[in-house]
Amino acid sequence: MRDTHGVRQGWIGCAATLLAVAGVTLHAAALPAQEPATVDDVIARAAAYVESFVEQLSTVVMEEDYRQTYFADRRANAAHTRLVSEFLLVRLLGVGEWVAFRDVFEVNGRQIRDRQDRLATLFLGDTTTVLAQAQRIAQESSRYNLGTTVRTFNVPTYALFFLHPSNTSRFRFEKADEGCADEDTAWDIRFEEIEYPTLTHGFENISLPTRGRFCLDPVSGRVIETEFELHHPSAAGGRLATDVKVRVRFALEPRLNLWVPVEMRETYSERGGGRTNSTAKYRNYRQFSVTVIENSDAGTDPPAEPDRPD
């Protein structure tokens, strides 16, 4: 009898445990399921990420190895150039925007100035005219670009401007797929600019609406890849209609614990047959705190207005 009772008691103990587990399981199943993220949710996270990301990237100077190939037409031999530059993103205090600068120090293997952080050092001085000086350096550097399309928006952070919280309402976003840029859980989100005047302007200040895609981490909003396209119609002075496509890839820089641009690929296709293909790669990231307060003496356009292809 003792053995039977012991077995029975043991069975009751097991049954009680199973009921307790079943109760927990039933209770967990009764909890409401978490709502899946929407495109609006992911874009809001990406906007918050970009705002924080720009603050951090504004303390980083990087080296850019920029290779361009230009075909005047389908029969002509290609022209090549290689530019090595210092690239710097500057945060403008009191304005809430940022401006990117490129300072070329080597052209086709020929050093045209000392290899030093000229831009970063410049911003350590008197900020009264520093923006004007930096923009002159950037404009001087842009003259080394190949092709007939004059552009200064060819910077790896340009498309991030579209995700800034102050600009997301200007675009229509739509989820295209899951899995992009070799990350299975990332969201491939398409965008189209729907508000005029557009953020990007061209010759004679015409609006140039952009469209493209972002590869985003849906949980953190981290930007993994950006791609945008625009069309510039033909204009006076023999300027040919041009289609532009720019794609930028970001990766983690372990030393800085920051996702940084690592590659930018561009295509400028003129309707008359000319084409420019470019690839820029980034390296040698250095922490360097650079901020500046914009003032009326700087002699620059408002920094929120993007660069313009003329």
Same structural domain, 25 and 148: no
Is position 309 within any domain? no
**Residue 44 pLDDT class (50, 70, 90 cuts):** very high
Same structural domain, 141 and 226: yes
| Whole-number average pLDDT of the chain | 78
CA dist 237 → 58, 122, 226, 234, 268 (Å): 38, 36, 32, 9, 19
What was the pLDDT predicted at 174? 98
Same structural domain, 24 and 157: no
What was the pLDDT predicted at 91? 72
Same structural domain, 213 and 290: yes
Q: What is the pTM of this model?
A: 0.77
> Which residues are CB-neighbours of 196 under 8 A, at least 6 positions away?
207, 209
Is position 305 within any domain? no
Same structural domain, 2 and 126: no
Is position 308 within any domain? no
Same structural domain, 20 and 49: no
From CA 42, how far away is CA 234, in angstroms rounded?
Answer: 37
Same structural domain, 274 and 125: yes
CA torsion, ordered 178, 180, 182, 186, to nearest 10 deg: -50
Same structural domain, 124 and 172: yes
User: Is pLDDT larger for residue 151 or for residue 204?
Assistant: 204
Same structural domain, 3 and 129: no
Same structural domain, 15 and 84: no
Give the model confidence (pLDDT) of 193-232 as tens digits. 999 999 998 888 899 999 999 999 999 999 999 999 999 8
Is position 143 within any domain? yes
Q: 7 lies in which domain range?
A: 1-31
The count of structural domains within the chain is 2
Same structural domain, 61 and 143: yes
**Does residue 58 have a pLDDT over 70?**
yes
With CA atoms as reference, report the closest residue to 159 among 277, 54, 253.
54
Is position 310 within any domain? no
**Does residue 122 have a pLDDT over 90?**
no
Same structural domain, 102 and 17: no
Give the model confidence (pLDDT) of 205-216 as tens digits. 899 999 999 999
**Torsions phi, psi for 124 (to 5 deg):** -85, -15
In SS3 terms, 69-104 reads as EEECCCCCCCEEEEEEEEEEEEEEECCCEEEEEEEE
- Of 17-21, 120-124, 233-237, minimum mean pLDDT range: 17-21
**Does residue 43 have a pLDDT over 60?**
yes
**Does residue 277 have a pLDDT over 80?**
yes
